[in-house]
Chain A
Amino acid sequence: MELTNENVLGKIISKFGEDNIWDALNPDGIMTITTNRESIISLIQYLHDDEELQIRFLTTMCGIHYPEQKDKELCVMYQLHSLRHNYRIRIKVFIPSADPVMPTLTNLYAASNWMERETYDFYGIIFTGHPNLTRILNIEEMEYHPMLKQYPLEDQTREDKIDTYFGR
């Protein structure tokens, strides 16, 4: 079966229902769908196990921070690839920053171990069930999660480096 965005989306929705899958977009040829954190693991498991889809390669995952979106400030993006069909899919889960908890994917993909640690390190998202959820790139003693948008990159006390000079 040739995998297209339409028939993959149809299969997913018929399995998980309209309530759990929404915002199917196609920004760059890769279908992007949004789901909730209750369904994410079973969705990725389904994509892995289904004989027609065979989406069995975790390309990458990362966190994104949208401080303006109320109650869905944090986003976790998973990108999967079916090497059999050369089909890519992107799945997003939005969670509130007051409750930054996600289920772990390490039972299915060994590759997600360090990716989840990196996401925890950068955004403070806690992956429940992860075997060793510690910081990976930054030092253990660090007290904040540096990729969150509230931490500016440059020293804010300097007056000679204002944004307008740098086109920002």
Chain B
Amino acid sequence: MATENKNVALTELEQFRLDHGLSLQEERPLTTLNLGPTHPATHGIFQNILQMDGEKIMDAVPTIGYIHRAFEKIAERRPFYQITPLTDRMNYCSSPINNMGYHMTVEKLLGITIPKRAQYIRVIMMELARISDHLICNSILGVDSGAFTGFLYVMQEREHIYDIYEEVCGARLTTNMGRIGGMERDLSPKALHLIGEFLKRFPKVWAEFEKMLTRNRIFIDRTTDVGAISAERALNYGFTGPNLRAAGVDYDVRVMNPYSSYEDFEFDIPVGTKGDTYDRFLVRNEEVWQSLRIIEQAYKNLPEGSYHADAPHYYLPPKQEVYRNMEALIYHFKIVMGETDAPVGEVYHSVEGGNGELGFYLISDGGRTPYRLHFRRPCFIYYQAYTEMIKGGQLADAILTLSSLNVIAGELDA
């Protein structure tokens, strides 16, 4: 190294130039640019301190944790059913997936089997959530590359998905949907009607959205080879979900380790080749079509039966029973006060979240709260690669890369 030959101490800038293979005599100094934490183009609270040579990014130092809410600590002091609202607030673009992933984890610990009908309702809700998640990501990608119309156009469809959530569980964004042991109520005729209407209307909307961007010359030029990552690096960085599939690895939790009856449905896993922003866009677009296919199959073949498991110790009894039946009253009281002990155990369950493998690692010591609950948050793991992906690119490309990765601050920081 040149450092040993010199007796004078290097300044920070000179050291930086040396580390990045730049000549020390270079006239132009690097500019430090503070991107975020509340920049409108970062869609969430992320800070990146960039070292810029003109428009070119030479280095980036990300800072995260701005909305860290210590969910893992809070979970250690709450009864199991009170943890579901925490999971809502992780990836808030697709909260039903988080809710049901958590419910399935606890059901695995308790050893409860869920009736087919409840599983199918869960699949419908999870796939609707996936559509609303991908819809936000792809339309925001359009906004960041200068196409605002598509965003407003598909945002209306997200409202319709939220109407379905509202009919199913009463909430729209942070849903707290379902319960440990199934759903809290059956799909109402109105909910079924809304889902049917959505299935009829949405394909046209999405086809139109795709027509606007997929073969759009400007959009292709803006996104091809931007923020590319190879399959090998992506796996090393722990990528999962659409971002990994865009790099060409067909890993999907729904297929590899099916849960909630996903093995009953027929669907394809779209994969990309280069792992760049355009591939990620295409993979998400195609996944929306596959989700629609799954919803159609589940909607058509919705089995008869109960919408919850027969697990009186953990599943709240119907309210009218509580007023008339002594046992129901006791169970109701014990569940609400968190007085039901869970068995000793250790489980890991993962679902295919909007951004990848969303895992829940739960240790129970036989008490009323988890001893340890760890969330495997896909965003947290793959956002590490962001620095590597934007180095050497333009500033505007860094913004596109961030939106195409679909980093959700709530999930990143938990």
Contacts and interface: CB of A to CB of B under 8 A. Distances in A.
A79 B361 contact: yes
5 contacts: A59-B357, A60-B361, A110-B385, A111-B381, A167-B338
Interface in B371-397: 371-372, 374, 376, 380-381, 383-385
B413 A137 contact: yes
Contacts of A135: 65
Contacts of A24: none
Nearest to B369: A168
A88 to B, nearest CB: 8
A118 B65 CA distance: 11
Contacts of A147: 72-73
Contact of B238 (A57, A137, A138): A57
A27 B359 contact: no
Q: Which of the listed residues A30, A137, A154 has the most CB atoms from chain B within 10 Å of its own CB?
A: A137
B218 interface: no
A57 B350 CA distance: 15
Contacts of B225: none
B372 A64 contact: yes
B338 A146 contact: no
Contacts of A28: 108, 345-348
Interface residues of B, number: 46
B72 A122 contact: yes
Interface stretch (B8-16, B172-180, B249-257, B324-332): B249-257
Given A62-B374, A110-B384, A111-B236, 18 more contacts: A27-B345, A28-B345, A59-B357, A60-B359, A64-B372, A79-B361, A86-B256, A110-B236, A110-B238, A114-B381, A122-B72, A136-B64, A136-B65, A137-B414, A139-B65, A167-B339, A168-B367, A168-B368
Contacts of A83: 235, 249, 251, 256
Nearest to A75: B372
Contact of B79 (A79, A111, A113, A167): A167
Contacts of A57: 235, 238
A109 B236 CA distance: 5
B237 interface: yes
Contacts of A27: 345-347
B2 interface: no
